[in-house]
Amino acid sequence: MSWHKVKKAIRRLFFGQSLGGEIDPDEIFLDASNLPQFDTHQFEGRLERPISRGTFFWVVAIFLIIGFVFTGRLWGLQIKDGDAYAKRSERNRLEHTTIFANRGIIYDRKGREMAWNDLNTLGDYALRTYAPVSGIAHLIGYVKYPAKDKMGIYYEDRFIPKGGVEEYFEEDLSGENGLKITETDALGNIQSESLLTPPVDGKNIELSVDMALQEKMYSLIASTVAERSFIAGAGVMMDIHTGEVLAMTSFPEFDSNVMTRGEDDAKIKEYLNNKNNPFLNRAVGGQFIPGSIMKPYIAMGALQEEIIDPLKEILSTGQITIPNPYDPTKKTIFKDWRENGWTDMRRALAVSSNVYFFSIGGGYDGQKGIGIDNIEKYTKMFGFSSLTGIDLDGEKEGNVPSRSWKAENYEDGEWRVGDTYNSSIGQYGFQVTPIQALRAVTSIANGGFLLKPTIVKGNRDIQKKSEFISSPGEYWRILREGLRLSVTEGTAKGLYMPEISVAAKTGTAELGASKSMVNSWVMGYFPYEEPKYAFVVLMEQGPRANQIGATSIMRQLFEWMYAYTPDYVK
């Protein structure tokens, strides 16, 4: 179509037929043959089309919805929740900060700091620091610092105590945190600060332990473990009149500073992977076969039941034999550790004669025994299989053998005389903690008072919580004389010292079917004439042939005490 015809068609479209003639179809329909040379990319020659009513309706609807949403949100912010957001805004401007209280300081009985706060450290709280000495970790424990998130905001507002004094006395040591309000501007600049609640520091605690004595006891146990192939050990010493613990240590141990700071991952991993468990406080939570340290309590049972005169002698030829219940043609042999000859009760305690205690425990060759029921009765009377109540967490009860115990724990629960024999020398069914053994031997030294041990100096309520074992004074004297004889000429002769008079009882508890390994024990008290302190040392699982064990440790400790802490031994 020519340009002339296009113009003609436009005139007719807008001005009607008056301009003349009909409009030909080729004047209004464009096709490829009559299309002018427009640049369509520049929108030349394109015909516009009006927006449909449907599209217009939906556009309007969307804008209305958006308007309603914004209006509702504005109503919520300004009217419905206006007060809440205003308070939140105020809190953003007024920051509440916890002021951490300082934990109480822990002292030993002589006023030396065992745990304190490093006040020179820059931070939100003082760092907890422990004395750099060995042997106190289980007693003191450690703490974990308050935790905060990645934004630096604390979601824990207190120290988390872990074990020992830190945990048991948390209520006293922790104190009460304070609160500070800080006002800031929109840029975060501090405008003012005010103390809302002042912090109250924790109470200081004075322990009954002597840190130097404890460190020496630990070092002797540690060196004996290393030199004599034991796997662990523990030692405890206590005032026989007040129940105050002078020393309590367990090997191996952890470093309280390492655990508190939590920075030495390699060392912490080493502790966690140590098969000998350095986190176990063996003094209160370790349960061990006691062996011959149980003999004094079997002797007291025999005296109470009046089955033997303490002066009566029983011949020890090195063993006893009884018919085998399954084959009468054979005999079952129960061995003594050596031929002890004729022994009365005092000497039997001194030389630790197994034959004598087989006889008064289970009965033999005409001598009546007290039997397992009385063994259970009298050993429990001395506090075995019950908690001592010491002011530390993690204490275990241990176990005393009995008919019911065997029936519950063994498929063949029948109690036999052989079980009684072995129980009579502390080799069957017993599980004892060192603190239990200490409390029991303390009662021999003080004439029957079963004290509640304490690690706090001057805890005068302890005497009110003690128990009394009612028994004739003569019986206590027999036991004490037997334990003194053990030092002067018996199994505890290694503790004989002209400078210090000691009474003691040793124990060698055989372990496993092969009995190639043993627990080495020694317990006792001093001075013999006027007792003040009792002690127990356990060395766990060492070679049977070993001649150096618990007794050697106490000998070396007494020598050190005589030189450096004479007030305890004179």
Q: What is the pLDDT of residue 410?
A: 92
Supply the pTM of this predicted model.
0.81
Q: What is the pLDDT of residue 329?
A: 79
Q: Which two tokens stand for residue 280?
A: 């176990």
Nearest to 235 by CA among 205, 207, 255, 213: 213
Q: What is the pLDDT of residue 340?
A: 93
Domain residue ranges of the chain, discontinuous segments joined by +: 3-42, 96-206, 211-569
Q: Is the peptide bond before 310 cis (omega within 30 degrees of 0)?
A: no
Q: Which residues does 330 contact at the CB level (< 8 Å), separation at least 6?
A: 323, 324
Partners of 284 in the beta sheet? Answer: none
Nearest to 397 by CA among 425, 436, 428, 427: 436
Nearest to 462 by CA among 478, 477, 449: 449
Q: Phi and psi at residue 519, in whole multiples of 5°?
A: -95, 130
Q: What is the pLDDT of residue 19?
A: 45
Q: What is the pLDDT of residues 293-324, one digit of tens each?
A: 999 999 999 999 999 999 999 999 999 999 88
Q: What is the pLDDT of residue 418?
A: 93
Give CATH for domain 211-569. 3.40.710.10
Nearest to 106 by CA among 207, 210, 201: 207
Q: What is the pLDDT of residue 56?
A: 65
Q: Which two tokens stand for residue 345?
A: 């009760």
* Residue 493 vs residues 221, 485, 502, 552, 553: alpha-carbon distances, Å: 19, 9, 10, 10, 13
Q: How far apart are the first and last CA of the chain?
A: 137
Within this chain, domains 96-206 and 211-569 share the same CATH topology: no
Alpha carbons 357 and 248: distance in angstroms, whole number = 31
* Residue 66 vs residues 29, 61, 165, 525: alpha-carbon distances, Å: 44, 9, 65, 90
* Three-state DSSP class for residue 99: strand
Residues 96-206: name the CATH superfamily: Penicillin-binding protein 2a (Domain 2) (3.90.1310.10)
Q: What is the pLDDT of residues 380-408, one digit of tens each?
A: 999 999 999 999 999 999 999 999 999 99
Q: What is the pLDDT of residues 201-227, one digit of tens each?
A: 999 999 999 999 999 999 999 999 999
Nearest to 522 by CA among 534, 510, 530: 534
According to the 3-state scheme, what is the secondary structure of 182-228? EEECCCCCEEEEEEEECCECCCCEEECCCHHHHHHHHHHHHHHHHHH
Q: What is the pLDDT of residue 547?
A: 84
Q: What is the pLDDT of residue 155?
A: 79
Q: What is the pLDDT of residues 530-562, one digit of tens each?
A: 999 999 999 999 998 888 999 999 999 999 999
Is the Cα torsion angle 432, 434, 440, 444 positive or negative in sign?
positive
Q: What is the pLDDT of residue 217?
A: 98
Q: Which parts of the chain register pLDDT below 70?
A: 1-51, 56, 70, 72-94, 122, 184-195, 460-465
